[in-house]
């Protein structure tokens, strides 16, 4: 099929200029990298029941890191530092104990947001900028500069590489901490290493696509995949695939939405991606529901 | 510091602290910190939606916090609880992003909803806050025994006819109610810190549930009062002080618990709160 024919086929779906837009191209590449990284880490996050930690890190990164950015510290490094520091604090307070996990995350989140409130206040009074909270809350993938692609790719590789290196022990300790400990694995060190990988992945996601999408891409595709398959390797591949699909479809819809009412402003990418992920999760519950109903009948 | 508009700040902050101290005790006991973060945070999308279609902010907040609470409760029956909470939160925030992008004049309000504007509370905010607070406290008082039982020993509760799912839904609705009442006056950040820090600290100091609730309210009150005083004198945001003081209270509680554990080492150092709480109910 020629490219022209393909273009004609896609014309009703894709608004003109989609594939030639630089912002869209960058968004597609960065979105895919982040979605694969978040999906992979997310499978472990869901298994370990640490979605709250992922969400909290995203919030802390975007508020604290963006405030640091407004002060003038380099954005990605600021985000990384904040993220890793927050993860270390959670580990120290006791995220490894199931009973105290929620609380450790909550205490760190509350304190960090308090500090962020101070930073934002100082920044807005010193620099007289308004609307900081909005950009911080809803980062947009369309505003990512193309020059960051190599760095994003590098950090994704670092995260994926460390997960791959630790794969078997991490999997065992995530499924059953007791069994892992019985086999002589250092469960706490593994947990800390995983938390570090999570912190880097979240920093990466939060700075490129905002804290809403970082949580959505971390938890949604992974939870959906784990409902559809029991094999961890398949789940990781599936989570990555679902994340990339949701991200790309969301970018496409957001681009198309510039032609929707109210004209010219466009609808946010995060809304589309989150909705797609949420629907995917709901749909993935249907097979089990049918099975249960069939079993009952 | 105690005149004019500041009177409203003291009154409303005290009401909020009492409610947060009581509801927060159950948040910490049930390990529901994520829900206590998700409902207030997500409900602010409701405020954005309300300003878009031109109804009162309180209606939007109430609708979204209730919707979020029920959604988390119902979906949590099948899926993992933390996953469902995360997904409900991002879905609400996604809608919030949409509402914000569709409306034009919302921007400055976001920051005040996040970090609170306790120093700018008007006279007519006091009465509705007090009314909703009363409802919250009354609901907790009415549910006290079954909620306590199903929080610490869900199986025993089921055996005695206390449905864990019903209790979860009731509890989530109470959190939603507390959210609706507190977010417009103190912001999502402040209410979260108040629902986590003081109750967690209180639980490190005392074991008996009622004493812990009382202490939790006391710590919450001390936290907001000193935060208002500090914020008034230094002009820095109140959320910063509440977050910091709550964390310090929690750290003190942890230090106290560690010291006590060392003093009576040899015995069962880490007493399990759940058992003592349950025996208290049975007594």
Tens digits of residue pLDDT in B200-218: 999 889 888 899 999 999 9
Average pLDDT over residues A130-157: 69
Contact A80, A203 (CB under 8 A): yes
* A23-66 pLDDT per residue, tens: 788 888 888 999 999 999 999 999 888 889 888 988 888 777 66
pLDDT: which is higher, A165 or A259: A165
Residue B266 has pLDDT above 80, yes or no: no
Determine contact: A252 vs chain B, CB below 8 A. no
- Tell me the pTM: 0.85
- Residue B208 gets which letter from DSSP? S
The answer to whether residue B277 scores a pLDDT higher than 50 is no
- What is the structure's pLDDT at A179? 85
Backbone phi, psi, residue A248, to 5°: -65, -45
Asked whether residue B151 carries a pLDDT value surpassing 70, the answer given is yes
pLDDT in tens, A35-46: 999 999 999 999
**Closest partner CB to A268 (pick from B28, B101, B107):** B101
What does the pLDDT read at residue A1? 45
> What pLDDT score was predicted for residue B17?
92
Inter-chain touch A113–B192, beta carbons under 8 Å: yes
Q: What pLDDT does B42 receive?
A: 86
Q: Do A103 and B97 touch (CB under 8 A)?
A: no
Instruction: Tell me what pLDDT residue B245 has.
Output: 92
Residue B139 has pLDDT above 80, yes or no: yes
β-pair partners for B267: B265
Q: What is the mean pLDDT of residues A158-170?
A: 91
> What percent of chain A has a predicted confidence (pLDDT) above 70?
80
Nearest to A134 by CA among B4, B140, B46, B110: B110
Stretch 107-136 of chain B: residues touching chain A, C-beta under 8 Å = 107-108, 110-111, 114-115
- Report how far apart the first and last C-alpha atoms of chain A are (Å, whole number): 49
Pairwise CA distance, residues A206 & A139, whole Å: 8
Between B28, B80, B107, which is nearest A131 by CB?
B107
- Say if residue A296's pLDDT is above 60: yes
Q: Which residues have CB under 8 Å from B212's CB, separation 6+?
A: B25, B199, B202, B203, B205, B206
- The pLDDT value recorded for residue B20 is 92
Higher pLDDT, B85 or A144: B85
Give CA–CA dist A233/A43, Å, rounded.
10
Alpha-carbon span A210 to A21, nearest angstrom: 21
From B234's Cα to the closest Cα of chain A, the distance in A is 12
Indicate whether B254 pLDDT > 70.
yes
Least confident of B46-50, B106-110, B259-263: B106-110
In angstroms, the CA B71 to CA B95 distance is 15
- What is the pLDDT, as a whole number, of residue A2? 55
Res A137: pLDDT: 52
pLDDT-derived band at A11 (thresholds 50, 70, 90) equals low
- DSSP 8-state class, residue B124: G
Domain CATH code at residue B266? 1.10.3470.10
- Mean pLDDT score of chain B: 82
Residue A120 has pLDDT above 80, yes or no: no
Please tell me the predicted confidence (pLDDT) of residue B274.
41
- Domain total of chain B: 1
**How far apart are the CA of A161 and the nearest CA of chain B, in angstroms?**
25
Question: CB-CB: which of B33, B85, B86 is closest to A103?
Answer: B33
Distance of alpha carbon B49 from alpha carbon A151, whole angstroms? 37
Q: What residues does each domain of chain A span? A: 18-285
Q: Which residues of A touch B244 (CB under 8 A)?
A: 111, 114-115
Q: How confident is the model at residue A15 (pLDDT cuts 50, 70, 90)?
A: low
Mean model confidence pLDDT for chain A:
81
Confidence of residue A208 (pLDDT cuts 50, 70, 90): confident
Mean per-residue pLDDT, A143-164:
85
Residue that wins the pLDDT comparison between A259 and B193 = B193
The arithmetic mean of pLDDT across residues B212-228, rounded, is 93
CB of B24 within 8 Å of any CB in chain A? no
**Average pLDDT, stretch B174-181?**
88
What value does the mean pLDDT take over residues A117-135? Answer: 65
Please state which of the ranges A166-170, B1-5, B21-25 shows the lowest mean pLDDT.
B1-5
Q: In the CATH scheme, what is the code of domain A18-285?
A: 1.10.3470.10
CB A194 within 8 A of CB A48: yes
The residue segments making up the domain with residue B275 are 5-282
A182 pLDDT band (50/70/90 cuts)? Answer: confident
Measure CA of the first residue to CA of the last residue in chain B; give whole Å.
47
Name the closest residue on chain B to residue A123, using Cα atoms: B236
- Say whether residue B28 is in contact with chain A using an 8 A CB cutoff: yes
């Amino acid at each position: 099929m020629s490219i022209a024919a393909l273009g004609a086929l896609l014309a009703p779906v894709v608004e003109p200029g989609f594939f030639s837009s630089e912002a869209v191209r960058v968004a597609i590449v960065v979105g895919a990298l982040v979605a694969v990284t978040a999906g992979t880490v997310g499978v472990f996050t869901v298994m370990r029941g640490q979605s709250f930690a992922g969400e909290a890190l995203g919030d802390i990164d975007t508020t604290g890191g963006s405030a640091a950015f407004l002060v003038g510290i380099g954005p990605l490094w600021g985000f990384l530092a904040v993220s890793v520091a927050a993860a270390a604090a959670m580990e120290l307070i006791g995220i490894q104990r199931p009973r105290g996990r929620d609380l450790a995350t909550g205490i760190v989140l509350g304190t960090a947001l308090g500090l962020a409130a101070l930073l934002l206040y100082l920044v807005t009074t010193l620099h007289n900028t308004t609307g900081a909270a909005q950009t911080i809350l809803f980062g947009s993938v369309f505003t990512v500069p193309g020059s960051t692609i190599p760095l994003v790719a590098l950090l994704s590789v670092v995260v994926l590489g460390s997960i791959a290196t630790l794969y078997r022990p991490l999997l065992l300790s995530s499924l059953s901490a007791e069994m892992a400990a019985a086999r002589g694995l250092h469960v706490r060190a593994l947990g800390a290493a995983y938390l570090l990988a999570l912190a880097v992945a979240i920093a990466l996601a939060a700075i490129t696509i905002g804290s809403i999408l970082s949580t959505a891409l971390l938890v949604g595709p992974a939870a959906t995949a784990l409902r559809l398959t029991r094999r961890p390797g398949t789940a990781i591949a599936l989570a990555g695939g679902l994340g990339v699909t949701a991200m790309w479809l969301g970018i496409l819809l957001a681009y198309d939405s510039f032609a929707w009412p109210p004209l010219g402003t466009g609808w946010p990418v995060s809304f589309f991606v989150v909705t797609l992920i949420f629907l995917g999760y709901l749909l993935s519950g249907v097979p089990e529901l049918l099975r249960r109903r069939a079993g009952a009948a | 510091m105690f005149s004019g508009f500041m009177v409203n700040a003291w009154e409303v902050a005290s009401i909020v602290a009492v409610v947060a101290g009581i509801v927060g005790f159950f948040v910490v006991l049930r390990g529901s910190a994520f829900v206590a973060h998700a409902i207030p945070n997500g409900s602010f999308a409701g405020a954005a939606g309300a300003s878009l279609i031109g109804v009162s902010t309180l209606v939007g907040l109430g609708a979204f916090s209730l919707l979020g609470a029920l959604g988390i409760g119902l979906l949590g029956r099948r899926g993992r609880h933390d996953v469902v909470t995360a997904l409900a939160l991002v879905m609400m925030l996604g809608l919030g992003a949409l509402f914000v992008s569709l409306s034009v004049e919302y921007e400055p309000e976001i920051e005040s909803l996040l970090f609170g504007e306790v120093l700018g509370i008007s006279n007519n905010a006091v009465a509705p806050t007090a009314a909703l607070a009363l409802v919250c406290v009354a609901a907790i008082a009415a549910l006290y025994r079954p909620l306590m039982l199903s929080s610490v020993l869900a199986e025993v509760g089921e055996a005695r006819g206390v449905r864990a799912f019903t209790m979860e839904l009731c509890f989530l609705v109470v959190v939603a109610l507390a959210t609706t009442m507190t977010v417009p006056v103190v912001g999502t950040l402040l209410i979260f810190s108040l629902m986590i820090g003081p109750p967690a600290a209180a639980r490190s100091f005392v074991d008996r549930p009622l004493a812990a609730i009382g202490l939790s309210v006391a710590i919450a009150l001390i936290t907001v009062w000193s935060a208002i005083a500090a914020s008034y004198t230094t002009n820095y945001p109140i959320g910063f002080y509440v977050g910091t003081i709550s964390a310090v209270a929690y750290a003190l509680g942890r230090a106290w618990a560690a010291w006590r554990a060392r003093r009576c080492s040899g015995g069962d150092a880490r007493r399990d709160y759940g058992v003592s709480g349950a025996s208290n109910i049975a007594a």
